[in-house]
Chain A
Amino acid sequence: MDGLPIAAQDDSWEVAGRRFRSRLIVGTGRYKDLEETGRAIEASGAEIVTVAVRRVNLGDPKAPMLQDYVDPRRYTYLPNTAGCFTAEDAVRTLRLAREAGGWNLVKLEVLGPPPFLYPDMRATFEALEALLKDGFEVMVYCSDDPIAAKRLEEMGAVAVMPLGAPIGSGLGIQNPVMIRSIIENAKVPVLVDAGVGTASDAAIAMELGCDAVLMNSAIAHAKDPVQMARAMKAAVEAGRLSFLAGRMPRQYAADPSSPLAGLIR
């Protein structure tokens, strides 16, 4: 962090009582192999990584596991409910995750059908209610709907995470107005989760005032994932600094940068 202004060095954020310096959360899926996963995550500077919960392969019990390449003592594992299409499945999955990992901070996502896998908010509300009763601290993937986001917060979600575009689409932030509206009304952290395709998308999300950005495919499916992880780290930092600095006002005419006084005649 050398060279950054003091304000940026102190610029941490908090979710569910845990404090983090990095505002980039990365997924651990879709990489070529576990070795590449480990290197890309290291390069991203992320402190939180999302992970999925799946059956172990009984035929190959000694196969390398994610923990061998992404150390859970170094990174905060955020178990997700990817692949769950009902509230019941989501709750069951996260109970197993809590037992496997020993912590209760989780990411809830209950998705609708392909091709958009858009958040199923009715099922999401139902799952959130059950998870909160069971003592989980829940970061919730949600639609870019200010009413839904507010309701999640009021129910007790520790963070709301609207999509910028469909999962894995890489289309960038399609809905800056609604994301901004969610941020302005929220008392819990707001993260853009899903939709980022390239570094400028991450910067845009941060310039809108998000607390952090969550991404997976934008890094894992880049031609060079480790290089893209570095780009995303820089973009999130740049977007955050830009948000804190406060952009100049837009105006629809030129305004010269050099003084007009003292011109030679």
Chain B
Amino acid sequence: MTLRSFIRHETFLAILLVLALFVLSWQSDRFFTVANLLNQGRLMTETGLIAIAMTFVIATGGIDLSVGSILGLTAILTGVFWKNLGVPLPAAAVAAIAVGTFAGYVNGLIITRFRVPALIATLATLALYRGLAEGVSQARSVRGYPDWFYVLGQGEVLGVPTQLWILLIAAVVAAVILAYTRWGRTTYAIGSNEVAARFSGLSVEGTKLALYTMSGFAAAVAAVIFVSRVSTTRSDMGSGIELDAITAVVLGGTSIFGGRGTVLGTVLGLCLIQALKNGLSLAGVKGDGTIMLIGIVLILAVLASAIFERSGTR
């Protein structure tokens, strides 16, 4: 895990991204336009926020499958708090985000206190939180939000979609934390060798608890942005988004076994996937074809990175 192998994977991804952008803009003249690219940024913000938090979780060797359900639960609660309970919308959104964050905290508790593997714990809460969301919503959607609320998901600040600013800030802050702070260092240490981290006096449980809580928070913020973007609230929102986020993280070079990964890689992975999805659909490729291509790109990227790494360490 030298600096060189880090740069390699990210450089490789960046080249792949440029290549994809080039080919796709040649395929359709509607693709490489400022308006379209900004709009794609808007569309990838929710997955992006979740993927950034997921980068930390996966770098510790864990995983959080429940983020999609937390998103759904938070979205529903925002609507229900506001419409059914009459709470002012900003307070409703904050309260819902608090619940989503708490849901993440519960994941962390189950994983650290009861030593349940993260995969199983969050698989269980994936079902649990989604069930709660559906129970609360009673299969009814909430609509008719005030206009100011749509600024978040449909508005612009300085010509750039509002939520893209949020994603950008989150990415920069997260990248700095992971690379330059003791929390980042602890994250990598846990992912590489949890036992040694504990034997070194690092706060393993505390760090994990904080990371799953952050993951819940990211999903909850994504939920509010999602609601604002699509103008409605439904209980099935965000289902499957955990897989999109994990794909971006793994494509970005984060090792699923932990100990390795960067936020920059995740962001590049995210952009590459979004570019492929949008560009291919503009080029007239059917949805199934796009999904298949993303799968192939993922496998190739992981293989390439494994080959780089092997030649690097010998």
Same complex: no
Q: A residues bordering B, Cβ < 8 Å?
A: none
Using CB atoms and an 8 Å cutoff, list the residues of chain B in contact with chain A: none
